[in-house]
Each structure stands twice: as structure tokens, then as C-alpha cells.
Amino acid sequence: MKYPKVEISADKIAFNVQKLIKDANDRGIELVGVTKGVLAHPQIIDAYLEGGLNYLGDSRIQNVKRIRDYGFTGKVMLLRAPMLKEISQVINYVDVSLVSEHKTLEALDLEANRLGKKHSFVVMVDVGDRREGVMPEDVDEFVVDSQKYENLQFLGLGLNVGCFGGVLPTWDNAQVLVELKSKLESRGIEVPTLSGGSTCGISIMYKEQLPAQINQLRVGEAFLIGNDSVREVKIPGTYQNTFRLTAEILEIKERPSQPAGEIGKDPFGNTPHFPDRGIRKRAIAAVGKQDVVINSLIPEDKHVTIEGASSDHLILDISDSQREYSIGDEISFDMEYGTVLFSMNSPYVSKEFYWNTI
Ligand SMILES: *Cc1c(COP(=O)(O)O)cnc(C)c1O
């Protein structure tokens, strides 16, 4: 099965990696290559390694396993706190966990002891986004307590923004980590790593608005599509056109833009509303909400608009297009991060990698 398909310019991803590593290293920042958006696909790992990454991260233990099965022997970070039910695999495949609960640390310590292994951890701090992390006022005590685990090594502090609460990364919220670090160091606890967030940290790095003590960023989107979707800005000097989706057209018909009949909810819990735009020429492409996020899909034909989708059908308005579409034609789209994530995770979408696109 070939369609829908995603074409991936692996060489452009490798280029993005190389460019960002150089600019980050110039500022004393280490980068972790995040693979969760692409199911830790082997060819993306190739692109990351080709670009010079030697430290990878993923939020899912299954993807970490995939990274190890691929043969990667470098450092791997688990980006979501380990589940108690997966501790054994975490100790076996992961070097560094991001944690915010002592119960997790206790389980890691016990299992590391049992398997005769060492494990490292970064304590996550909630600097305002209100997803995970120890509250800043509790960090001191949390870290002091966490020195007792004999099989675990405390590496430092981490933050996340732009994920749940939509909080933007700033000098001030990164500075929270810097202040906590100096407090801990005054108590004799070394804090070698300050992990200052994700792609959105890259944007502020370029604006020189990242405190100098931040020495690590965990990056996916900037490598994969050269974009920061939190600030909706392109990362300077990188490629954006790295992923392209193509689907086949199944049907073309003129029909009223407005549904007729009593309106209930769609399967996703939304009540659809469509303005009356008269009779429009509509095409259906064979791809749906199981494979894409429609508001991060951009038709290459600028005169085509996406009207919506169901799980398997993408509804397009082609009335204003200059092209004469026919049944069986291919139609292509630029992909933003949300769609990249869904498509790479969808078994219905085939993936084609290219290494000669620059
Ligand atoms: C996904 C994730 C990242 C990477 O985010 P991007 O926006 O893709 O750069 C970094 N840290 C954590 C904890 C994550 O879950």
C-alpha cells in the first residue's frame, strides 16, 4: 500500500541537526535529539546521527527500545517520567530519566540495585506551564532528599514550557532554574545540568535570551521541520520543507457547502458549523483524522482549502483552483509538527525517505 504517503527529506533533517548543534555548542549548550514525533524511525535516527547528535531522547519506552534495537549505544533520555510498571525496561534501556516524584526514584533505585546498574535523573521543575514538575519552593528539599539513592545519580534540573499551559519560554522562567542551582550549590550539591526545555528554547537561544547557565535543550521540532510552533516562527538557517504528504482523490462533486438536516455531534464530540457559501466544488482525499491533524496541513495548491475531515476522508474545496483535478489524482500538502506526529505514527501512511534533496 503506497498512498497516502509521506516523503521525508532526511538530508535536510541532517542539515538542520548539524546547523543547530554548531550554534548551540558555540553557546555551551548540549542538544538531545528527540525522536518521539517520528516513532523513533531508523532513518530519522540515521539523519540525527549523520547531523552529529550522540544523545537521543524519547517520551515512550517502546521508542527507546526501538532506538536500542537499531543499535544506538549512546546516551538516551526518557522524556516522560517513568511509569512504575516499566521501571525494569527503563533501567535496562535508558541512561537519564526526568522525574518529579520520590516514589519513582525509589523504584528506580531498587531496580538499578537489583540489576547492578547505575541510572541518572534530572528533577523537573514547574516554572509556570503547570504540566509536570516539582514546584520551585519545594525543589531544595526534594533534591536534598534525593541524594540518598545509592544507585542513582542526580544530574540537575529541567523545565518544560509551551506544552500544556502554552506558557512561552523566557529569560525569567529559565532564570528560576539558575537561582535554584545556586541555592543547591551553596549547600554543597553539584548541579551540572540545567535542561532548559525544547524547541521553543532554541528560538530564545538565537535571541540571546537564554541564561548562560542553561546548558542543555531537548529538541525535536526544530530538527525535523525547522520550526517553533509555540512562537510560530521559523528557526533561522534551517529547512522547513522536510515532510510532504500526498493522498489520492476519491471523489469530486458539486454540492452545497452547508449540511442539510438536524445537526448533532461528530464522533470527536464537536458540533460542526458550516457557513452557507452556495454550491462548491468539493474533492475527497483518501486520508483522515487517523492520519493527520487538519489544522497543521497546508495544501501546496494555494487555491485549495481544507473544509474538514472525518476519520478517513479529507474534504477539500477546489472551486477556486486553476488545476483541473480528476479522480485518482494525487494532491500534496506541507506538514506542520502535529501532522508529522500523526502521520509518522499512522500505520496507514507509507513513509519514503530521500537523501538527495538538497
Ligand atoms: C517532546 C518533548 C521535547 C521536545 O519538544 P519539541 O517541541 O519537539 O522540541 C522536549 N522535552 C520533553 C519533556 C518533551 O516531552
H helical segments located in the chain: 10-26, 42-51, 61-70, 87-93, 102-115, 136-145, 171-186, 199-206, 221-225, 337-345
CB 51 within 8 A of CB 73: no
- Beta strands 243-256 and 30-34 are unpaired
* Whether the CB of 289 sits within 6 Å of ligand 1: no
The string of pLDDT tens digits covering residues 247-282 is 999 999 999 999 999 888 888 888 888 889 999 999
- The counts of H helices and E strands in the chain are 10, 18
The string of pLDDT tens digits covering residues 201-221 is 999 999 999 999 999 999 999
CB 7 within 8 A of CB 352: yes
The string of pLDDT tens digits covering residues 223-253 is 999 999 888 899 999 999 999 999 999 999 9
User: Vertex 44, ends 242 and 85: CA angle to 5°?
Assistant: 125
* Whether the CB of 218 sits within 6 Å of ligand 1: yes
Nearest to 256 by CA among 307, 220, 202: 307
Q: Peptide bond before 267: cis, by omega within 30 degrees of 0?
A: no
- CA 118 to ligand 1 centroid distance, Å: 25
Beta bridge pairs of residue 34: 57
Mean pLDDT, rounded, for 114-126:
97
* Whether the CB of 59 sits within 6 Å of ligand 1: yes
CB 203 within 8 A of CB 233: yes
Q: Which of 5, 12, 19, 36 is catalytic?
A: 36
Model pLDDT, residue 309: 95
- CA 338 to ligand 1 centroid distance, Å: 13
Nearest to 310 by CA among 284, 335, 330: 284
pTM: 0.95
**Average pLDDT of the residues of the chain:** 96
DSSP 263: -
* Whether the CB of 36 sits within 6 Å of ligand 1: yes
Residue 190's pLDDT band (cuts 50, 70, 90): very high
Res. 347: pLDDT tops 90 = yes
- CA 218 to ligand 1 centroid distance, Å: 6
Res. 1: pLDDT tops 80 = no
* Whether the CB of 203 sits within 6 Å of ligand 1: no
Model pLDDT, residue 202: 95
Nearest protein CA to atom 8 of ligand 1, as residue: 220
148 is catalytic: no
